[in-house]
Amino acid sequence: MRKSIFGSITPTLTVLVMMTVAFAALAAASGSGSPLGSERARAAKSDNDGKLRIIAFGAHPDDCEIRAGGVAAMWAAQGHHVKFVSTTNGDIGHWKEAGGPLAQRRTREVQEAAKILNIETEVLDNHDGELMPTLENRKEFVKLIREWKADIVLGPRTNDYHPDHRYTGVLVQDAAYMVICPFICPDVPHLKTNPVFLYFSDRFQKPNPFEPSLVVSIDDVIEKKLDAMVALESQFVEGGVSGNESMVPKNDRERAAAHKRVRESFRRRFESTANQYREKLIEFYGEEKGKKVRCAEAFEVCEYGRRPSESDLNKKLFPFFER
In a domain, 14, yes or no: no
Angle value at C-alpha 300, between 273 and 128, nearest 5 degrees: 80
Give the predicted TM-score (pTM) of the model. 0.85
The pLDDT tens digits of the residues spanning 143-152 come to 999 999 999 9
In a domain, 141, yes or no: yes
**Domain tally for the chain?**
1
Average pLDDT over residues 208-226: 97
**Rounded distance between C-alpha atoms, residue 319 and residue 275, angstroms:** 22
In a domain, 238, yes or no: no
In a domain, 200, yes or no: yes
At residue 48, the pLDDT reads 75
In a domain, 102, yes or no: yes
| CATH at 165 | 3.40.50.10320
CA-to-CA dists, residue 221 to 76, 229, 316, 322, angstroms: 11, 13, 20, 15
- For residue 122, the surrounding DSSP H or E stretch is strand 120-123
In a domain, 144, yes or no: yes
Q: Are 51 and 75 in contact (CB under 8 A)?
A: no
Average pLDDT over residues 156-170: 97
Decide if pLDDT at 51 tops 50.
yes
Average pLDDT over residues 146-174: 97
Decide if pLDDT at 17 tops 80.
no
E strands along 140-272, which residues?
152-155, 196-200, 214-217
Residues above pLDDT 90, as percent of the chain: 83
- Average pLDDT for the chain: 89
**Rounded distance between C-alpha atoms, residue 159 and residue 174, angstroms:** 15
Average pLDDT over residues 271-294: 97
pLDDT classification of 231: cutoffs 50, 70, 90: very high
The parent domain of residue 207 ranges over 40-215+298-317
Average pLDDT over residues 87-112: 98
In a domain, 245, yes or no: no
Give the range among 13-27, 111-125, 284-298, 301-315 with minimum mean pLDDT: 13-27
Decide if pLDDT at 261 tops 50.
yes
Give the range among 118-127, 224-233, 274-283, 310-319 with minimum mean pLDDT: 310-319
Average pLDDT over residues 87-108: 98
CA-to-CA dists, residue 245 to 97, 234, 237, 239, angstroms: 12, 12, 11, 10
Which letter, b or e, does each residue of 3-13 get, where b requires 16 or more Cβ atoms within 10 Å of its Cβ?
eeeeeeeeeee
At residue 322, the pLDDT reads 76
Q: For residue 65, which amino acid is it?
A: E
| Omega prior to 207 cis, within 30 of 0 | yes
Q: Which of 257, 268, 254 is nearest to 226 (CA)?
A: 268
Q: How far apart are the first and last CA of the chain?
A: 87
Average pLDDT over residues 54-69: 98
In a domain, 185, yes or no: yes
